[in-house]
Structure 1
Protein backbone atom coordinates (compact mmCIF):
# COMPACT_ATOMS: atom_id res chain seq x y z
CA UNK A 1 0.00 0.00 0.00
CA UNK A 2 1.22 3.48 -0.90
CA UNK A 3 0.81 6.36 1.56
CA UNK A 4 0.16 9.75 -0.05
CA UNK A 5 0.10 13.10 1.73
CA UNK A 6 -1.25 16.21 0.04
CA UNK A 7 -0.43 19.67 1.40
CA UNK A 8 -1.94 23.09 0.71
CA UNK A 9 -2.31 26.34 2.62
CA UNK A 10 -5.29 25.28 4.73
CA UNK A 11 -5.84 21.64 3.75
CA UNK A 12 -9.25 22.39 2.23
CA UNK A 13 -8.61 22.20 -1.52
CA UNK A 14 -6.31 19.20 -1.16
CA UNK A 15 -9.08 17.45 0.80
CA UNK A 16 -11.37 17.79 -2.22
CA UNK A 17 -8.64 16.57 -4.57
CA UNK A 18 -7.84 13.69 -2.22
CA UNK A 19 -11.45 12.48 -2.40
CA UNK A 20 -11.27 12.41 -6.19
CA UNK A 21 -7.95 10.57 -6.00
CA UNK A 22 -9.49 7.99 -3.65
CA UNK A 23 -12.37 7.46 -6.10
CA UNK A 24 -9.90 6.93 -8.96
CA UNK A 25 -7.84 4.49 -6.88
CA UNK A 26 -10.96 2.53 -5.93
CA UNK A 27 -12.05 2.23 -9.58
CA UNK A 28 -8.56 1.00 -10.53
CA UNK A 29 -8.34 -1.37 -7.55
CA UNK A 30 -5.28 0.40 -6.15
CA UNK A 31 -4.77 0.36 -2.40
CA UNK A 32 -3.66 3.75 -1.12
CA UNK A 33 -3.72 5.59 2.18
CA UNK A 34 -4.19 9.34 1.84
CA UNK A 35 -4.29 12.40 4.00
CA UNK A 36 -4.61 16.12 3.30
CA UNK A 37 -2.81 18.60 5.53
CA UNK A 38 -2.43 22.32 5.97
CA UNK A 39 1.18 23.48 5.60
CA UNK A 40 1.47 24.05 9.36
CA UNK A 41 0.59 20.40 10.08
CA UNK A 42 3.34 18.78 8.05
CA UNK A 43 6.08 18.22 10.61
CA UNK A 44 3.97 16.17 13.03
CA UNK A 45 1.85 14.24 10.54
CA UNK A 46 3.99 12.77 7.77
CA UNK A 47 4.26 9.35 9.40
CA UNK A 48 4.85 6.69 6.76
CA UNK A 49 4.34 8.99 3.77
CA UNK A 50 5.71 7.56 0.52
CA UNK A 51 4.53 10.39 -1.74
CA UNK A 52 4.31 14.03 -0.66
CA UNK A 53 2.36 16.25 -3.04
CA UNK A 54 2.33 20.02 -2.59
CA UNK A 55 -0.47 22.18 -3.89
CA UNK A 56 0.60 24.90 -6.34
CA UNK A 57 -0.01 27.62 -3.73
CA UNK A 58 2.69 26.12 -1.48
CA UNK A 59 5.18 25.20 -4.24
CA UNK A 60 7.69 27.54 -2.58
CA UNK A 61 8.15 24.78 0.04
CA UNK A 62 9.47 22.17 -2.42
CA UNK A 63 13.21 22.69 -1.94
CA UNK A 64 12.90 22.72 1.85
CA UNK A 65 10.78 19.57 1.83
CA UNK A 66 13.24 17.79 -0.45
CA UNK A 67 16.17 18.85 1.70
CA UNK A 68 14.50 17.72 4.90
CA UNK A 69 12.68 14.56 3.79
CA UNK A 70 14.57 13.16 0.78
CA UNK A 71 15.84 10.23 2.87
CA UNK A 72 12.38 9.38 4.21
CA UNK A 73 9.93 10.10 1.38
CA UNK A 74 10.30 8.56 -2.09
CA UNK A 75 8.49 11.25 -4.09
CA UNK A 76 8.18 14.95 -3.23
CA UNK A 77 6.52 16.96 -5.99
CA UNK A 78 4.29 19.93 -6.71
CA UNK A 79 0.89 19.03 -8.17
CA UNK A 80 0.42 20.24 -11.74
CA UNK A 81 -1.48 23.53 -11.54
CA UNK A 82 -3.98 22.69 -14.26
CA UNK A 83 -4.75 19.23 -12.80
CA UNK A 84 -5.11 20.83 -9.39
CA UNK A 85 -7.44 23.56 -10.67
CA UNK A 86 -9.59 21.00 -12.49
CA UNK A 87 -9.51 18.67 -9.45
CA UNK A 88 -8.37 15.87 -11.78
CA UNK A 89 -7.80 13.26 -9.10
CA UNK A 90 -7.21 10.44 -11.56
CA UNK A 91 -4.41 12.32 -13.37
CA UNK A 92 -2.76 13.45 -10.13
CA UNK A 93 -2.90 9.90 -8.78
CA UNK A 94 -1.53 8.41 -12.02
CA UNK A 95 1.32 10.94 -12.17
CA UNK A 96 2.23 10.40 -8.52
CA UNK A 97 2.24 6.61 -8.82
CA UNK A 98 4.28 6.76 -12.04
CA UNK A 99 6.96 8.79 -10.24
CA UNK A 100 6.83 6.43 -7.25
CA UNK A 101 7.21 3.34 -9.45
CA UNK A 102 10.30 4.85 -11.11
CA UNK A 103 12.13 5.06 -7.76
Structure 2
Protein backbone atom coordinates (compact mmCIF):
# COMPACT_ATOMS: atom_id res chain seq x y z
CA UNK A 1 0.00 0.00 0.00
CA UNK A 2 1.35 3.40 -0.98
CA UNK A 3 1.93 5.82 1.89
CA UNK A 4 0.94 9.36 0.93
CA UNK A 5 3.06 12.09 2.49
CA UNK A 6 1.69 15.49 1.60
CA UNK A 7 3.47 18.78 2.22
CA UNK A 8 1.66 22.07 2.61
CA UNK A 9 2.91 25.66 2.46
CA UNK A 10 1.59 29.03 1.29
CA UNK A 11 1.46 28.17 -2.40
CA UNK A 12 2.92 24.67 -2.66
CA UNK A 13 5.85 25.99 -4.72
CA UNK A 14 8.91 25.83 -2.48
CA UNK A 15 7.73 22.63 -0.81
CA UNK A 16 7.40 20.99 -4.23
CA UNK A 17 11.21 21.00 -4.47
CA UNK A 18 11.67 19.17 -1.18
CA UNK A 19 8.76 16.84 -2.06
CA UNK A 20 10.57 15.83 -5.24
CA UNK A 21 13.79 15.17 -3.32
CA UNK A 22 11.85 13.06 -0.79
CA UNK A 23 10.19 11.12 -3.63
CA UNK A 24 13.59 10.53 -5.28
CA UNK A 25 14.97 9.10 -2.02
CA UNK A 26 11.90 6.89 -1.64
CA UNK A 27 12.20 5.65 -5.22
CA UNK A 28 15.91 4.94 -4.76
CA UNK A 29 15.10 2.77 -1.73
CA UNK A 30 12.07 1.21 -3.45
CA UNK A 31 9.70 2.58 -0.81
CA UNK A 32 6.02 2.57 -1.60
CA UNK A 33 5.42 6.29 -1.09
CA UNK A 34 3.89 9.27 -2.84
CA UNK A 35 5.18 12.72 -1.86
CA UNK A 36 3.41 15.81 -3.16
CA UNK A 37 3.10 19.49 -2.24
CA UNK A 38 -0.03 21.62 -2.07
CA UNK A 39 -1.13 25.09 -0.94
CA UNK A 40 -2.39 25.06 2.68
CA UNK A 41 -5.67 26.67 1.58
CA UNK A 42 -6.54 23.35 -0.16
CA UNK A 43 -5.98 21.20 2.94
CA UNK A 44 -9.53 19.89 3.45
CA UNK A 45 -10.05 19.31 -0.27
CA UNK A 46 -6.84 17.25 -0.44
CA UNK A 47 -7.74 15.34 2.75
CA UNK A 48 -11.18 14.50 1.32
CA UNK A 49 -9.99 13.54 -2.14
CA UNK A 50 -6.61 11.90 -1.51
CA UNK A 51 -6.62 10.55 2.07
CA UNK A 52 -2.96 11.25 2.94
CA UNK A 53 -1.14 9.20 5.59
CA UNK A 54 0.93 12.16 6.79
CA UNK A 55 0.65 15.96 6.59
CA UNK A 56 3.80 18.05 6.81
CA UNK A 57 3.90 21.83 6.99
CA UNK A 58 6.67 23.88 5.46
CA UNK A 59 8.60 26.01 7.98
CA UNK A 60 7.06 29.18 6.53
CA UNK A 61 3.59 28.08 7.76
CA UNK A 62 4.68 26.55 11.10
CA UNK A 63 2.48 29.16 12.83
CA UNK A 64 -0.51 27.21 11.42
CA UNK A 65 0.50 23.97 13.19
CA UNK A 66 -2.16 24.00 15.95
CA UNK A 67 -4.85 25.18 13.52
CA UNK A 68 -3.85 22.43 11.06
CA UNK A 69 -3.95 19.76 13.79
CA UNK A 70 -7.52 20.86 14.57
CA UNK A 71 -8.46 20.86 10.88
CA UNK A 72 -7.20 17.28 10.35
CA UNK A 73 -8.29 15.67 13.63
CA UNK A 74 -11.37 14.05 12.05
CA UNK A 75 -9.15 12.53 9.34
CA UNK A 76 -6.91 10.63 11.79
CA UNK A 77 -3.67 11.84 10.18
CA UNK A 78 -0.40 12.87 11.88
CA UNK A 79 0.77 16.45 11.35
CA UNK A 80 4.36 17.62 11.53
CA UNK A 81 6.45 20.66 10.68
CA UNK A 82 9.47 20.27 8.43
CA UNK A 83 12.65 21.23 10.26
CA UNK A 84 13.83 24.57 8.89
CA UNK A 85 17.47 23.42 8.63
CA UNK A 86 16.51 20.25 6.74
CA UNK A 87 14.25 22.37 4.57
CA UNK A 88 16.93 24.98 3.90
CA UNK A 89 19.41 22.26 2.96
CA UNK A 90 16.72 20.57 0.83
CA UNK A 91 17.58 17.32 2.65
CA UNK A 92 14.88 15.05 1.27
CA UNK A 93 16.29 12.01 3.04
CA UNK A 94 16.13 13.54 6.53
CA UNK A 95 12.64 14.94 5.99
CA UNK A 96 11.45 11.59 4.65
CA UNK A 97 12.94 9.69 7.60
CA UNK A 98 11.29 12.07 10.07
CA UNK A 99 7.92 11.70 8.33
CA UNK A 100 8.16 7.89 8.49
CA UNK A 101 8.95 8.10 12.23
CA UNK A 102 6.00 10.48 12.68
CA UNK A 103 3.65 8.00 10.97
CA UNK A 104 4.97 5.06 13.03
CA UNK A 105 4.55 6.96 16.32
CA UNK A 106 1.09 8.25 15.49
CA UNK A 107 -1.77 6.33 17.04
CA UNK A 108 -4.71 8.59 16.15
Give the structure 2 partner of residue 54 of structure 1. 57
- 1:3 equivalent in structure 2: 4
**1:92 corresponds to 2:99:** no
Q: Verify: 1:45 aligned to 2:61, yes or no.
A: no
SS state at 2:37 partner = strand
Cα distance, 1:35 vs. partner?
1.8
Root-mean-square deviation (CA), in Å? Answer: 1.2
Deviations 1:26-75 (A, max 9, x none): 11111112221112222211231110000011011110111121231431
How many positions carry a matched residue from both structures? 103
**Structure 2 partner of 1:12:** 13
1:79 aligns with one of 79, 82, 98: 82
1:92 to partner: Cα distance: 0.2
Runs of 4+ aligned structure 1 residues displaced above 4 Å come to: none
Q: Tell me the alpha carbon deviations over residues 2-26 of structure 1, each in whole angstroms, 9 at most, x when there is no partner.
A: 1111011111111100110011001
Tell me the TM-score normalised to structure 2 length: 0.88
Give the structure-1-normalised TM-score.
0.92
Q: Secondary structure at the match of 1:74?
A: coil
Q: Distance in 2 between matches of 1:25 and 1:3?
A: 12
